Amino acid sequence: MTLACPAPTGDGGHVIMGHGSGGLLSQQLLDRAVFSRFRAPELAQRHDGAVLAFEGPVAFSTDGYVIAPIEFPGGTIGELAVHGTINDLAMCGAMAEVLSLGLILEEGLPLATLDRVLAAAADACEAAGVRVVTGDTKVVERGKGDGIYITTAGIGRVHPRAAITASRIAPGDAILLNAPIAAHGIAIMSVREGLAFETPTVSDTRALHRAVAALLDRCGEAVHCLRDATRGGVGAVLAELAQQGGQGMRIRQTALPIAEAVEGACELLGLDPLYVANEGVFVAIVDGAHADAALAALRAAPGGDGAVRIGTVGEDRSGQVLLESAIGGARIVHLPPGEQLPRIC
Amino acid sequence: MKFLSEFRDPALVERLVDELHRTVRGDWTLMEVCGGQTHSLVKNGLMDLLPAGVRMVHGPGCPVCVTPVPLIDLAVRLVLEHGATVFSFGDMLRVPGTTRSLAQAKAAGGDVRVVYSPLEAVAFAKANPGRQVVFFAVGFETTAPANALALVHAHREGLRNFSLLASQVLVPPAMAAVLADPASTIQGFLAAGHVCTIMGLDEYEPIVARFRVPVVVTGFEPVDLLHGILMAVSQLERGEARLENQYARVVRPEGNPDARRVLREVFRVADREWRGIGTIPASGLEVREEFADFDAKVRFGLEDAPEPASAGCIAGKVLRGQARPTECPHFGQACTPLTPVGAPMVSSEGACAAYWHVAQAPVTLVRGGRHG
């Protein structure tokens, strides 16, 4: 949904320092960019915060979003910031209901870009059924930001049957993924490197709470752990979970879902798709006896239609992830030392 | 993926592994020269499938590993003292210099950028005439033609703000140096397929003749590597020493004449220091005097410094195939991929990093014994 903006946009309008002054210019900017799109009653009060009432346990999470470029194939920083916090809450077994939205704008950011980003964020909120109830906007001098940084915090109601923690990971558990890997990282790389692939890859940014709700409705306590595989990719998440839970894990390379175009791009760029970032992929570790039910539940839910089993938690206490290669060899999946750097040859 | 999946076919791999196990009688030590091959051996878990009689040692073919520390220091000085924008291939950034890596120079406010192609640096130089742009031209015969081409482009455009900091090395002299070392245990080579794609096969006949070792030009996929190993071992079992081309689908005997031409046009062969190994005669490429304006060392008046010794690090022996990374006192202690002491711990192509990853494997999980 995109609402027509009542304020005059004016071609070539840019964010200026005055937009962060707290005066009339600030008001104008907020009216135009924020209040026209985010229409929760709590936000409309224009107070310093929102008063909310919840019964039962809630989860609370916050995340900061910095990305270059701000707009990329398949999304913008706007929906990324909405989906990211919805997903962090979902990994706690909670369904997001309200978000805060903090904007740090760089002087000189075209207002048209800000409009597109916030329209994308508003659409993402509406599609996910969450509302922005409070927010903040600051402006920093040109050169002190990457156009726009966003922080979102969110509160979600915890699913009544959720019992999610790395310590519940147990031998025989099935390791599941909801969707093909590495699309987001490759979409970003292709823009940064100016690469045009025959089949353009788009970011997989999406909200995962409905897939998680479907999984918990069906399997409840049999879902032992959930983790979204953002930075560091599926490889880093699994290595970290194995370390935390102390269990060994085995995954099969041939079971890893990946789009052919993404795989080809990874080959070309010298990147290991296991460590490439995702924005709509999560790992579910589920009691082995419930694996088929979990897969069926995921596949019927939005964002879970590509669900597959990629491996199993082992009996050993090695705390390490072993990848069985396509050709029958084996290697350890490590926590990457830092950012993945392309190799020379 | 077309042209890749065929060379990762599990059934074909299994057949090759079986044949290798049937073929091997003796104990053989082979060196795969190229870091890309080391990476593939490790990434695909191939070491795990080899018979006990085949020992692979990892060669000096990791350009990141053999770039001397003083050259990294020069690159860091260009960034921090001369205010130049230095473009580099990715994994060069983390290699420690004497005081700083390029990544640390970037964090300290320097302008360091990662690129896939040196032509991107030329384009940047053209668009930013006020900045001095240096491309850190690291690599073997594989990267040299593209780096040479970047210089030719800059020359043609008349750019006054683009130069190369060349650290180009040549593979065949290094292979000869490894074999000429009395402590060498290498009995056969998998030569680097992509180097031969550029340079062709001529350079290897003298090595085969002088040292009587099989040299098999080999590709990078699991099927390529196992096939190359099988070809080398078959020769050894028959008491032969020949040059063979496993990678014939890519490597032509004459190489790539256009690439060789541009390489000769821009670079001249020179003695070169290899990190951890020392100076190898006629093993490097320097920018020719005709293009001195585009040589960062000339433009900025930089002097080469001798390689400092890093206490206890046995990278040199590792790179010559005379020691396993695990024999180093720093291995896994002071030296890990997060805190590399020697360069082979930096790149995933480096032997030490490859071993660090494998050494993390719990013994019970490592597959073994399918073939005894």
Distance from CA of A271 to the nearest CA of B (A): 11
User: How many beta-carbon pairs under 8 angstroms link A with B?
Assistant: 122
Contact assignment for B91 to A324 by CB distance below 8 Å: no
Whether residue B90 is predicted with pLDDT greater than 90 in this model: the reply is no
Higher-confidence residue of A199 and B145: namely B145
Contact assignment for B365 to A314 by CB distance below 8 Å: yes
Which residue stretches of A77-222 are H helix?
Answer: 77-90, 111-128, 183-192, 209-219
pLDDT computed for residue B365 by the predictor: 32
Whether residue A12 is predicted with pLDDT greater than 90 in this model: the reply is no
Work out the average pLDDT over B93-117: 91
Whether residue A53 is predicted with pLDDT greater than 90 in this model: the reply is yes
Whether residue B367 is predicted with pLDDT greater than 60 in this model: the reply is no
Work out the average pLDDT over B331-349: 82
Whether residue B124 is predicted with pLDDT greater than 90 in this model: the reply is yes
Lowest model confidence (mean pLDDT) among B67-81, B135-149, B337-351: B337-351
Lowest model confidence (mean pLDDT) among A35-44, B133-142, B320-329: B320-329
Contact assignment for A330 to B366 by CB distance below 8 Å: yes
CA B151 to chain CA centroid, nearest Å = 22
Let me know if the fold of A22-158 is the same as that of A166-333.
no
Whether residue B166 is predicted with pLDDT greater than 80 in this model: the reply is yes
Q: Which band of pLDDT confidence, cut at 50, 70 and 90, is reported for residue B368?
A: very low
Whether residue A6 is predicted with pLDDT greater than 70 in this model: the reply is no
Work out the average pLDDT over A8-36: 84
> How confident is the prediction for chain A on average, in pLDDT?
92
Lowest model confidence (mean pLDDT) among B30-39, B163-172, B219-228, B246-255: B30-39
Structural domain spans, chain A: 22-158, 166-333
pLDDT computed for residue B2 by the predictor: 66
CA A258 to chain CA centroid, nearest Å = 18
Question: Which amino acid is present at A287?
Answer: D
Contact assignment for A345 to B92 by CB distance below 8 Å: no
pLDDT computed for residue B66 by the predictor: 87
B chain contacts of residue A318, beta-carbon cutoff 8 Å: 362, 364-365
Question: Which amino acid is present at B52?
Answer: A
Selection from A98, A106, A122, A104 nearest residue A32 by Cα: A122
Distance from CA of B45 to the nearest CA of A (A): 4
pLDDT computed for residue A129 by the predictor: 98
pLDDT computed for residue B370 by the predictor: 31
Residue B178 contacts residue B187 (beta carbons within 8 Å): no
Q: Measured on CA atoms in the order B152, B153, B156, B158, is the torsion positive or negative?
A: negative
Work out the average pLDDT over B230-246: 98
* pLDDT tens digits along A20-29: 988 899 999 9
Higher-confidence residue of B7 and B86: namely B86
- What span, in angstroms and rounded, lies between the C-alpha atoms of B260 and B45? 35
Q: In what order do the strands lie in the sheet with A94-106?
A: A58-65, A148-158, A94-106, A131-140
Residue A243 contacts residue A323 (beta carbons within 8 Å): no
B241-274 CB burial, b ≥16 within 10 A, e <16? bebbbbbeeebeeebbeebbebbeebbeeeebbb
- What span, in angstroms and rounded, lies between the C-alpha atoms of B108 and B80? 8
* pLDDT tens digits along A143-181: 999 999 999 999 999 999 999 999 999 999 999 999 999
> How confident is the prediction for chain B on average, in pLDDT?
89
A58-74 CB burial, b ≥16 within 10 A, e <16? bbebebebebeebbbbb
Question: Which amino acid is present at B337?
Answer: P
Q: Which band of pLDDT confidence, cut at 50, 70 and 90, is reported for residue B354?
A: confident
Q: Which residues pair with A95 in a beta bridge?
A: A157
If DSSP codes are grouped into helix, strand and coil, which group holds residue B165? strand
Distance from CA of B299 to the nearest CA of A (A): 25
Q: Which CATH class is domain A22-158?
A: alpha beta
Paired sense of beta strands B188-192 and B215-218, if any:
parallel
Residue B143 is nearest to which of A314, A324, A344, comparing CB atoms? A344
A260 touches chain B (CB under 8 A): yes
Distance from CA of A313 to the nearest CA of B (A): 13
What would the two tokens of residue B135 be?
A: 């491309």
What would the two tokens of residue B246 be?
A: 């496993």
- What span, in angstroms and rounded, lies between the C-alpha atoms of A332 and A322? 5
Question: Which amino acid is present at A289?
Answer: A
Chain A residue whose CA is closest to B117: A193
Work out the average pLDDT over A224-239: 96
Q: Which domains does chain B have, with CATH numbers?
A: 1-313 (3.40.50.11740), 315-359 (no CATH)
Higher-confidence residue of B4 and B128: namely B128
Whether residue A9 is predicted with pLDDT greater than 70 in this model: the reply is no
Higher-confidence residue of A343 and B364: namely A343
Whether residue B364 is predicted with pLDDT greater than 50 in this model: the reply is no
pLDDT computed for residue A343 by the predictor: 63
pLDDT computed for residue B296 by the predictor: 97
pLDDT computed for residue B85 by the predictor: 98
pLDDT computed for residue A5 by the predictor: 52
Q: Which residues pair with B280 in a beta bridge?
A: B272
CATH 3.90.650.10, applies to A166-333: yes
Contact assignment for B93 to A341 by CB distance below 8 Å: yes
If DSSP codes are grouped into helix, strand and coil, which group holds residue A199? coil
* pLDDT tens digits along A244-282: 888 999 999 999 999 999 998 898 887 889 999 999 999
pLDDT computed for residue B310 by the predictor: 66
> In this structure, what DSSP letter does residue A279 have?
S
pLDDT computed for residue B369 by the predictor: 30
